Chain A
Amino acid sequence: NFMLTQPHSVSGSPGKTITISCTRSSGSIASNYVQWYQQRPGSSPTTLIFEDTHRPSGVPHRFSGSIDSSSNSASLTISGLKTEDEADYYCQSYDSSTLWVFGGGTKLTVL
C-alpha cells in the first residue's frame, strides 16, 4: 500500500500561477496514472486531469498536470488564477490491493 501526500493548503493572487504537489510514499509515481479532482464548497468533485496530463473537454487550459519521477510526485499547475478556482483539490491513483487511493486534499485560497 502507498499514500499520496498533498500540502494542506496553498494560496495565490488572481492572475498568478500556483502548483499543488502529490507525493507517492512508495513505489513509482509513474507506475499508475494520476488524476486530479476539484471540489468547490458544497459541490461534488469534478475531474480536472486524467491519466497524468489530460484535460477532459471543458476544462480550461489554465489547468495542467505533470509527473516528476525524480521527486516521485505528480503536480497540478493552475495559471492565471481566478477567484472561482478557490476550492479543494485531490489527487488520485491506484494501488494493487486497495485499488483507488486519494490524496488528503489541498485547500486553495485565492487572495
Chain B
Amino acid sequence: EVQLVQSGAEVKKPGESLKISCKGSGYSFNTYWIGWVRQMPGKGLEWMGIIYPDDSDIRYSPSVQGQVTISADKSINTAYLHWSSLKASDTAMYFCARADGIRSWFDPWGQGTLVTVSS
C-alpha cells in the first residue's frame, strides 16, 4: 500500500525554527514528486511547492518562496518542510502528497501535520 506518514503536531513560538517530515512507503520514493499544501484554519488548500527526491529538483509557489525550504533525503524516503523563523501566520495544517509528474495530480495525501505558532 502506498502511504505517506507525516510527523506529529507541533506547537512553537514566533521566531523558532521547525522542520516537519513526510515519509513515503510502498513505492519507489525517488521517482515520484512530493508536494506540500497548506491549509490555514477554516480556509482552503494552497500549494506551497514540490520536490523530486531523486535529484532534489524543487519548485516553490511565489507566495512562499524564501519563507520555507523544501528538501528530501532519499536514503530514508523522507521529504521535509523547514522554517527558519516561524510567524503566527504560519499556523496551519500542512499536507504532503505524491504526484507522478510536475503537472499531475496529488495521490495519496499524508494525514497532515498541524503547526501552531503562538507566543
Residue A37 interfacial (CB < 8 Å) = yes
- Whether A37 contacts B44 in the complex (CB less than 8 A), given A98-B61, A99-B59, comes out as no
Residue B50 interfacial (CB < 8 Å) = yes
B45 touches A90 (CB 8 A): yes
Chain B 80-119: CB-based contact to A (< 8 A → 1; otherwise 0): 0000000000000001010000111111111110000000
A99 touches B61 (CB 8 A): yes
- Neighbouring A residues of B104 by C-beta, 8 Å: 50
B105 touches A102 (CB 8 A): no
| A99: nearest chain-B partner, CB-CB | B59
| B60: nearest chain-A partner, CB-CB | A99
- Whether A44 contacts B47 in the complex (CB less than 8 A), given A51-B105, A97-B62, comes out as no
- Neighbouring B residues of A90 by C-beta, 8 Å: 44-45
Count residues of chain A with CB under 8 A from any CB of chain B: 25
B62 touches A47 (CB 8 A): no
Instruction: Identify whether the interface residues of B are mostly helix, strand, loop, or mixed.
Output: loop
Chain B nearest CB from A58 CB (Å) reads: 11
A50 touches B45 (CB 8 A): no
B105 touches A45 (CB 8 A): no
Residue A92 interfacial (CB < 8 Å) = yes
Chain A nearest CB from B79 CB (Å) reads: 16
**Residues of A in contact with B (beta carbons under 8 Å apart):** 32-33, 35, 37, 39, 44-47, 50-51, 56, 88, 90, 92, 94, 97-105
Q: List 27 A-B contacts (CB under 8 A).
A: A32-B103, A33-B105, A35-B106, A37-B45, A37-B106, A39-B45, A44-B95, A44-B109, A44-B111, A45-B45, A45-B95, A45-B106, A47-B106, A47-B107, A50-B104, A50-B107, A92-B47, A98-B47, A98-B61, A98-B63, A99-B47, A99-B59, A99-B61, A99-B102, A99-B103, A100-B47, A101-B47
